[in-house]
Amino acid sequence: MRILSILLFLGITFFSYSQELKSPNGDFKFVFELENGVPTYELFLGEQHIIKKSKLGFELKDQEALLENFEQLSVATATEDNSWEPVWGEQKSIRNHYNEMLVSLNQTTTNRKMNIRFRLFDDGLGFRYEFPSQDELTYFVIQEEKTQFAMAGDHTAFWIPGDYDTQEYDYTTSKLSEIPGLMQTAITPNASQSPLSVPGVQTALMLKTANGIYINLHEAALVEYPCMHLQLDANNYVFESHLTPDALGNKGYMQAPRNTPWRTVIASKNAGDILLSNITLNLNDPSKYTDTSWIKPVKYIGVWWEMITGKSSWAYTDIPSVKLGETDFTSLPPNGKHAANTKKVKEYIDFAATHGFEQVLVEGWNQGWEDWFGKSKDFVFDFLTPYPDFDVVALREYGKSKGVRLMMHHETSGSVRNYERFMDDAYQFMEDNNYNAVKSGYVGDIIPRGEHHYGQWMVNHYLYAVEKAAAHKVMVNAHEAVRPTGLSRTYPNLIGNESARGTEYEAFGGNKPDHTTILPFTRLVGGPMDYTPGIFEPDVSQYNPNNNSWVNTTIARQLALYVTMYSPLQMAADLPETYNKHLDAFQFIKDVALDWDKTLVLEAEPGDFITYARKEKGSNNWFVGRTNDEEARLSTINFNFLDKDKTYIATIYSDAKNAHYKKNPKAYNVEKFRVTHKSKLKQPCAPGGGYAISIIEATQKQDLKGLKRL
């Protein structure tokens, strides 16, 4: 349903025009004002200021800025209310309900047109700039976008430093006024990083006001445009957009007609509403694919963690220099640590088949890993040629015999031109050898040199790779790429991303215990994360005596992450030999669903804890997960989300009484109970701990025999 009305105004410059818009439920009020030729906006939740009066516009290169001297030509309002079903997701159906205001502006000094489209939902605001076809403004270069987000106070922020090349930082929790002073310690080493020269943070940014309002700032539908950071005026609590530059320092190359990405403000008095918001997805276009039958959620294991920990290597041999097509690997001595060999991969395939996993990721299968990193090397991989100990055909056929596919790995080492050079052949190679999913990587500085991971050129590349993959019916899980902005709605084969500090950092010194209580409020607002959970051995030195890293978690919390860290692509990241020691706990990883009909947030506080309940798509089974920070806490939930006429068996995987993420991380309990919609649970959570619950409908009375009621 779409209702349209248009109000026309005479173009009289330098007077103030004020237009108001309310959300469908009336809770939010938005105000646009053209104040002496300067476009501004405000956002209220009830009587509370979410965004104080903030300016809008652009600085352009070698042209007059689009910041002032505007007249208002017209205002068009509309209402939209429909529902759509994602190919995969956290809800079976998503409602898209908003009131819209389209403001058409003309700059009197240049006669250039700029429109701003605002959409106000029941949980927040989205807006973007639109440049229509016009003689006065066709090709132009953005020097900086000047969108402001003026905060109403010194809010608490959950933030990572602004950086053009990485999001792989631990989160810092502080007041806005404290951010500049904490920036130096927040910027920790990374393989490729370019921190902002001014105080700034990355989106999605989570905030909490002193009076308990939760605010999230992000962007949606990032296409043909650089990634946005938020530059901070810490004295006045004002954020201003800061775009990622290219090698020349330019921020964006535009050709009208063209739209920018949406800028989003999600707000609520309830933290769980931030986690359940669909604004980011709703501001993206519907799927571009008519046939999506080949896109399916995947649970996988991988030849990966043993390399991450240093137990094994990606490289086949130990030489300082490789020239693809010239280096004869068959004549070189193997180093004895190469993990991606036929024998070992068959063992992983066997484990996957035994436990019902669909795919096995194998990293380090292709030639070139001996000198892949830090050399600024263009022709670093060909994505086609295996090492001598990796038999592509034999493993393809062995996997088929076991009902297991291999998952492809394409590490580019930042050499993007090289990847695009081989991309068609690489995807065809996947088709020919029964691969339908690829994990791509962009570790290191980008080639062409001077470009950044989050600049316009790379944003275009990431989407180019996804579209190319779709032509071969390949699903993409991109690591080190730009953080997602809901594009998985439009391109549902973009089934996963990393784009944040994931589990691998647990083997690089460890993540903070509160890390997974923040990520769903920040990074996951834009889309699912391939966090690679499931680590059961926290002492990394057990795999590599030279690595003293410690995984800051209990086993029970590792299980919870399969529910709290949403992804249709979930990895059981630890080694099969370790899972075989804890098969009772491993059962949850086998049972937990990947795709959902319904998602609820039972408890949530950013930086402290999150408890989700999710209903498996197409069944009556539910799964609950709770992730906890470094403090011992009591979780209190009820089961009123269950069907009233059904009885279920709840298997609770919890921290033991003496569990602790440092002192006793492997202490857990597995207990079964009979539950109904009247059941309640008070569950202690250890420091760095949590719990997971599978709630399976009881179809046979004998299955309930001997089970206590909860």
Q: What is the CA radius of gyration of the chain?
A: 26
In the β-sheet with 58-60, what is the strand arrangement from edge to edge?
Answer: 58-60, 139-145, 252-255
Cis peptide before 24 (omega within 30 of 0): no
- The yes-or-no answer on residue 451 being catalytic is no
Q: Which of 338, 321, 328 lies closest to 379, judged by CA?
A: 321
pLDDT tens by residue, 262-292: 999 999 999 999 999 999 999 999 999 999 9
| Structure confidence at residue 8 (pLDDT) | 38
In this structure, which amino acid lies at residue 222? L
pLDDT tens by residue, 33-74: 999 999 999 999 999 999 999 999 999 999 999 999 999 999
Question: What does the CA dihedral 570, 572, 573, 574 come to, rounded to 10 degrees?
Answer: 170
Phi, psi of 156 (to 5 degrees): -80, 135
Beta-strand pair 48-55/58-60: unpaired
Alpha-carbon dihedral sign for residues 318, 323, 324, 328 = negative
- In angstroms, rounded to a whole number, what is the distance separating the alpha carbons of residues 534 and 158? 25
**Contact partners, residue 399, CB within 8 Å, separation at least 6:** 349, 360, 405, 406, 434
Give the three-state DSSP class for 561.
Answer: helix
| Structure confidence at residue 9 (pLDDT) | 36
Q: Which of 364, 318, 309 lies closest to 340, judged by CA?
A: 364
Cβ atoms of 356 and 301 within 8 Å: the answer is: no
| Structure confidence at residue 16 (pLDDT) | 61
- In angstroms, rounded to a whole number, what is the distance separating the alpha carbons of residues 389 and 410? 18
Cβ atoms of 143 and 250 within 8 Å: the answer is: yes
**Contact partners, residue 645, CB within 8 Å, separation at least 6:** none
Distances (CA, A) of 643 to 54, 344, 621, 622, 640: 47, 45, 10, 11, 8
pTM higher than the cut 0.95: yes
Supply the DSSP symbol for 583: H
Alpha-carbon dihedral sign for residues 394, 400, 406, 408 = positive
Catalytic residue among 504, 506, 537, 616: 504
Burial class (CB in 10 A: 0-12, 13-18, 19+), 562: buried
Phi, psi of 66 (to 5 degrees): -100, 70
Q: How many residues does the chain have?
A: 710
- Tokens of residue 120, six digits: 């106000």
- Per-run averaged pLDDT (10 residues), the chain, 710 residues: 42 62 98 97 97 98 98 98 98 98 98 98 98 98 98 98 98 98 97 97 98 98 98 98 98 98 98 98 98 98 98 98 98 98 98 98 98 97 98 98 98 98 98 98 97 98 98 98 98 97 97 98 98 98 98 98 98 98 98 98 98 98 98 98 97 98 98 98 98 96 93
How far out from the chain centre does Cα 78 lie?
31
Longest Cα separation, the chain? 82
| Structure confidence at residue 705 (pLDDT) | 92
Cβ atoms of 380 and 442 within 8 Å: the answer is: no
Distances (CA, A) of 201 to 144, 159, 497, 501: 16, 6, 20, 15
| Structure confidence at residue 6 (pLDDT) | 41
